[in-house]
């Protein structure tokens, strides 16, 4: 193994010159830090965390971007830390809120402007920690809390949100790179992030699952403690509603068993059904108890209102009857019926896709039971052949769907695969309680919302990806696989190794096991549904593949900025 990798070095986050970008437009590219201003939200979130936090007087807190300090004081009062280091680079702006904390008699508050200064043992800002700490052991006596909202950052190697940069650094610090947050052992992080950015770290559907989310899911346990409702977000970021109902029922049972109670104002509600899933009669559309982004709905309602006003007698007689039997007199009436006919067709084809999704789920559950029963015994080839025949028939039926319904079916199938895995794919699917619902008035500016994420490194990940070479290969494989998350696993592996893909697949024996997140036909298995354990297996197999790209090649090309910083084994 090389002791020094040829790499494009990325400076540590501590000394890099960073400036805020003010020219960005758009909601996500905000220019100011979002502050928590509601004490009740802080109390509710901390009550949710209370049982897992350190006992009073047993830990230190590093508090990055405390701002007005409301959250800082609340968590301080609960934990009574030995030391509480406020890392506030804009202290002059927030001094009316923070200076009184530093001036208290016998205060344990300290202030620095850089995170590295807080972690530097020579500054003696924290309690004494052993110099030789087991890197795989969680440090229960140090807690990091951080507000990652605010203006985008710009450095020589990075332009983007503070949250994405921080979580990239957090991941790399597992190998003592960049800010080296984990120099005293694996540290728990409570991170406030912009709510409209949280899907980059803890997506609720495989459709929104990207490289950084998979990287965090593999290397950290991540929970959403508080956040805004996702009901008004685009369907891209949400599961199919029928699946959401099932998942929420599961979580509600866990909450009841654990005695978790929360006010209705802090509880998210289920969204109305999608228009495609209801019988699209004129009365149902007028009632409006559905969600849809279809443009024809507004046109239909305008026509419906027009007919009610201009042809009241006709409307009263025919608006509730079978529209196919109507005697159509004017173009508006014909247009009205055409829209309903199209809605009916879309509903029917959608329900056909729903039927195929449910059949596919039943097939995969049957296949898993078959695999579990066959473990340690000879596989019944006849039964396996019957399962494959059913799978091929379903695959053919799904391919016959129109593009919209096919994409819906594939997304729903992948979300079911993620939900039915043990443990589930996606950190969101492993939650044991719903997040505390936040509102606009909890923050300033009031039109912004934050989500609170609870992040803890996984020692088991570091036991597998235990060298810097493996870290670089894992990042490279992850990048290549998730360039197009909706493509098939077979196509993704062909792009990864080019020639010899079939031979490479043989080195990953569990990739065809449905109980491990695989499938017998890799052309029918999409990358976005792969469990992180399978991604790790692929990366480890690639690290042993004789025709893999070299470490130097990966680093010199700098294709992955998160893999571009590497240390040799003896550095």
Q: 412-456, pLDDT tens digit by residue?
A: 999 999 999 999 999 999 999 999 999 999 999 988 999 999 999
d(CA 477, CA 479): 5
According to the model, what pLDDT value does residue 321 have?
A: 53
Of 295, 282, 332, 290, the C-alpha closest to 311 is 332
Of 457, 565, 568, the C-alpha closest to 12 is 565
Share of the chain above pLDDT 70, in %: 88
Confidence of residue 226 (pLDDT cuts 50, 70, 90): very high
If residue 188 lies in a helix (H) or strand (E), which one and from where to where? strand 186-194
The residue whose two tokens read 């996606």 is 426
Backbone angles phi, psi at 223, to 5 degrees: -130, 145
- Could you give the C-alpha distances from 303 to 69, 297, 315, in angstroms and in order? 54, 10, 11
If residue 168 lies in a helix (H) or strand (E), which one and from where to where? helix 162-172
Residue 275 has pLDDT above 60, yes or no: yes
pLDDT tens profile 293-304: 788 898 889 888
d(CA 255, CA 503): 47
Outline which parts of the chain fall under CATH 3.40.50.150.
20-268+427-461
Residue 561 has pLDDT above 50, yes or no: no
Residue 24 has pLDDT above 90, yes or no: no
- Choose from 119-128, 177-186, 425-434 the range with maximum mean pLDDT: 425-434
According to the model, what pLDDT value does residue 355 have?
A: 98
d(CA 418, CA 426): 7
Residue 502 has pLDDT above 60, yes or no: yes
Is there a contact between 464 and 534 (Cβ–Cβ < 8 Å)?
A: no
Residue 320 has pLDDT above 60, yes or no: no
User: Does CATH number 3.10.20.440 belong to domain 20-268+427-461?
Assistant: no
Residue 378 has pLDDT above 90, yes or no: no
According to the model, what pLDDT value does residue 31 have?
A: 61
Tell me how far the alpha carbon of residue 354 is from its chain's centroid. Answer: 25
pLDDT tens profile 337-373: 888 889 999 999 999 999 999 999 999 999 999 998 8
Q: Can you tell me the mean pLDDT for 496-522?
A: 95
According to the model, what pLDDT value does residue 21 have?
A: 36
129 CB contacts (<8 Å, ≥6 apart)?
A: 121, 139, 141, 142, 184, 185
Angle ∠(32,200,230) on CA atoms, nearest 5: 85
According to the model, what pLDDT value does residue 110 have?
A: 97
Radius of gyration of the chain from Cα atoms?
27
The residue whose two tokens read 């990042």 is 475
Q: Would you list the DSSP string of 195-261?
A: GGGGGGTS-SSGGG--HHHHHHHHHEEEEEEEE--STTS-GGGS--HHHHHHHHHHHHHHHHHHT--
Residue 145 has pLDDT above 50, yes or no: yes
According to the model, what pLDDT value does residue 376 have?
A: 67
The residue whose two tokens read 């702006």 is 93
According to the model, what pLDDT value does residue 306 have?
A: 86
pLDDT tens profile 32-62: 899 999 999 999 999 999 999 999 999 999 9
Least confident of 234-243, 361-370, 388-397: 234-243
Q: Mean pLDDT for the chain?
A: 87
């Amino acid at each position: 193994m090389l002791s020094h990798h040829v790499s494009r070095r990325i400076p540590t986050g501590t000394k890099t010159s960073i400036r805020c970008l003010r020219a960005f437009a758009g909601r996500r590219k905000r220019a100011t830090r979002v502050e928590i201003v509601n004490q009740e939200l802080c109390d509710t979130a901390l009550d949710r965390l209370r049982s897992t936090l350190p006992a009073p007087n047993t830990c230190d807190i590093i508090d990055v971007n405390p701002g007005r300090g409301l959250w800082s004081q609340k968590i301080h009062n609960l934990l009574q830390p030995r030391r509480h280091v406020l890392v506030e680079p804009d202290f002059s702006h927030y001094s009316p809120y923070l200076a009184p904390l530093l001036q208290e008699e016998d205060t344990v508050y300290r202030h620095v402007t850089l995170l590295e200064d807080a972690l530097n043992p020579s500054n003696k800002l924290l309690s004494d920690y052993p110099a030789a700490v087991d890197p795989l052991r969680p440090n229960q006596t140090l807690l990091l809390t951080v507000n990652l909202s605010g203006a985008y950052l710009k450095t020589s190697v990075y332009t983007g949100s503070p949250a994405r940069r921080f979580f990239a650094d957090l991941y790399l610090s597992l190998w003592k790179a960049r800010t080296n947050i984990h120099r005293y052992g694996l540290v728990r992080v409570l991170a406030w992030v912009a709510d409209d950015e949280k899907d980059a770290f803890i997506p609720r559907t495989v459709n929104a699952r990207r490289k950084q989310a998979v990287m965090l899911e593999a290397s950290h346990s991540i929970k959403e403690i508080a956040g805004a409702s996702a009901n008004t977000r685009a369907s891209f970021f949400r599961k199919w509603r029928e699946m959401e109902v099932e998942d929420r029922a599961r979580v509600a049972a866990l909450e009841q068993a654990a005695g978790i109670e929360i006010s209705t104002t802090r509880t998210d509600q289920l969204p109305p059904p999608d228009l495609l899933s209801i019988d699209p009669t004129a009365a149902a559309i007028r009632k409006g108890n559905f969600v849809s982004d279809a443009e024809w709905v507004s046109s239909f309602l305008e026509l419906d209102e027009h007919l009610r006003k201009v042809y009241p007698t006709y409307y009263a007689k025919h608006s509730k009857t079978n529209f196919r039997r109507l005697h159509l007199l004017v173009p508006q009436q014909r247009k009205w019926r055409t829209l309903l006919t199209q809605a009916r067709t879309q509903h029917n084809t959608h329900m056909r896709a729903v039927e195929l999704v449910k059949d596919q789920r039943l097939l995969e559950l049957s296949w898993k039971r078959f695999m579990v029963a066959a473990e340690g015994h000879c596989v019944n080839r006849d039964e396996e052949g019957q399962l494959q025949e059913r799978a091929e028939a379903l695959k053919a039926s799904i391919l016959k769907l129109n593009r919209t319904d096919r994409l819906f079916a594939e997304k729903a199938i992948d979300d079911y695969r993620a939900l039915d895995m043990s443990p589930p794919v996606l950190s969101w699917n492993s939650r044991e309680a719903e997040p505390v619902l936040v509102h606009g008035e909890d923050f300033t500016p009031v039109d912004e919302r934050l989500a609170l994420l609870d992040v803890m490194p996984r020692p088991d990940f570091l036991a597998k990806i235990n060298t810097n070479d493996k870290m670089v290969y894992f990042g490279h494989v992850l990048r290549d696989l998730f360039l197009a998350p909706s493509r098939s696993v077979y196509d993704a592996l062909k792009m990864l190794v080019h020639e010899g893909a079939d031979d490479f697949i043989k080195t990953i024996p569990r990739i065809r096991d449905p109980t491990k997140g695989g499938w017998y036909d890799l052309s029918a298995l999409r990358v976005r549904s792969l469990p992180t354990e399978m991604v790790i297996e692929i990366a480890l197999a690639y690290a042993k593949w004789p025709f893999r790209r070299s470490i130097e090649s990966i680093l010199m090309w700098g294709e992955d900025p998160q893999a571009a910083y590497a240390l040799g084994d003896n550095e």
